C-alpha cells in the first residue's frame, strides 16, 4: 500500500499538456467571447459572470491598473457592457491572470465547447493509468488555478473518457492561491487528514515549495513544454515524468 492516503493533482503541465491549455482552451475563449456574450446574453448564469467581471474591472480601475476598463452596469448599454467585458477578459488572459471572475466566465464558456463537441480534454496516458489505480487504493483530488467547473470539464470530457468517477473532490483558488502554504493547510483541514498523508504533484516548483512548507509529500511533474526547473528544485524535490512510478 502507498505511504499516502490522498493524491492531490495539479492539471496544467501535470495531468494535461500545457500546450492543450495555451493552444486550445485559451484561444477558444479569445475567439468566441464576443459571440458568446451576445448569443447567451439572457442567460442568468452569464449575467452572474458579467457582474463578477464588472466588479473586478471597477476595483482594478480604482486601483490604477491601466488596462482595466470600468463597467457601469446601470448606465452602459448591453452592447457597451459586452464590449468592455471582452476587453477586460482579453487583457487579463494576456498576462495569464489567476482570478476568480475571469476563471468563472472561462469555465462557463468551456462548458458549451465541451458539450457541443468543439473541445475534448487531453490527458497524459500515464496520468490516467495512475489516477485509475490510485482511486482504487486511496482518494484523488484536484487543485488547479482553473475553476472547479473547468476541472470537471477536462476530466469529464477527456480523450480517455469520463474520469470524474475517479476524482473525490476539486479545489481552485477559492481555497487560496497555489503558491501560498496556507492554501495547502486549508485543503488538508477540509479533507480532514494530516498534511503528511497527502502527496501533491505539480509542475510548478513554487507550488511544490508551498505544499512542502505545509508538510505535504511532494513530487514535481516533468513534462514536455513545462518550464525549466531550477537546480535547487532538481536537488531538493522528487521528480517524475511517469506517474506509474509513484504507484
Residue ranges at the known binding site for substrate: 144-145, 178
**Number of other residues whose CB lies within 10 A of the CB of residue 154:** 27
C-alpha 81: how far from chain center: 26
Let me know how many helices (H) and strands (E) the chain has, helices first: 10, 6
- Residue 100 sits at the vertex; the CA angle it makes with 94 and 104, to the nearest 5 degrees, is 90
- H/E/C letters for each residue in 29-75? HHHHHHHHHHHCCCCHHHHHHHHHHHHHHHHHHHCCCCCCCCCCCCC
Residue 49 burial class via C-beta count within 10 angstroms: exposed 0-12, middle 13-18, buried 19 and up: buried
- Cβ(225)–Cβ(17) below 8 Å: yes
Per-residue DSSP letter, 23: I
Q: Which residues fall within 8 angstroms of residue 18, CB to CB, at 6 or more apart? A: 12, 203, 223, 225, 226
Can you state the percent helix, strand and coil of the chain, rounding each to 5?
55, 15, 35
Give the integer Cα–Cα distance in Å for 117 and 204. Answer: 30
- The annotation places the binding site for Mg(2+) at 10, 12, 203
- The annotation places the binding site at 10, 12, 144-145, 178, 203
Amino acid at each position: 500500500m502507498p505511504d499516502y492516503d490522498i493524491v492531490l493533482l495539479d492539471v496544467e503541465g501535470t495531468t494535461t499538456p500545457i500546450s492543450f491549455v495555451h493552444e486550445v482552451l485559451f484561444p477558444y475563449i479569445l475567439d468566441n467571447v464576443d459571440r458568446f456574450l451576445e448569443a447567451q446574453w439572457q442567460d442568468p448564469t452569464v449575467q452572474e459572470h458579467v457582474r463578477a467581471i464588472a466588479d473586478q474591472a471597477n476595483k482594478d480601475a480604482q486601483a490604477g491598473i491601466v488596462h482595466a476598463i470600468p463597467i457601469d452596469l446601470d448606465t452602459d448599454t448591453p452592447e457597451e457592457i459586452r464590449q468592455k467585458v471582452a476587453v477586460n477578459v482579453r487583457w487579463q488572459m494576456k498576462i495569464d491572470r489567476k482570478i476568480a471572475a475571469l476563471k468563472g466566465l472561462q469555465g462557463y464558456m468551456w462548458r458549451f465547447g465541451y458539450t457541443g463537441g468543439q473541445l475534448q480534454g487531453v490527458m497524459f496516458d500515464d496520468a490516467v493509468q495512475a489516477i485509475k489505480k490510485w482511486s482504487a487504493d486511496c482518494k484523488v483530488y484536484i487543485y488547479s488555478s482553473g475553476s472547479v467547473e473547468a476541472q470537471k470539464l477536462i476530466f469529464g470530457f477527456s480523450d480517455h473518457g469520463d474520469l470524474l468517477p475517479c476524482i473525490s473532490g476539486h479545489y481552485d483558488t477559492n481555497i487560496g492561491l497555489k503558491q501560498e502554504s496556507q492554501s495547502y493547510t486549508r485543503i488538508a483541514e477540509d479533507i480532514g487528514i494530516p498534511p503528511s498523508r497527502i502527496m501533491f504533484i505539480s509542475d510548478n516548483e513554487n507550488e511544490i515549495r508551498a505544499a512542502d512548507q505545509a508538510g505535504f509529500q511532494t513530487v514535481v511533474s516533468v513534462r514536455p513544454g513545462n518550464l525549466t526547473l531550477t537546480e535547487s528544485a532538481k536537488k531538493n524535490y522528487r521528480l517524475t515524468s511517469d506517474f506509474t512510478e509513484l504507484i
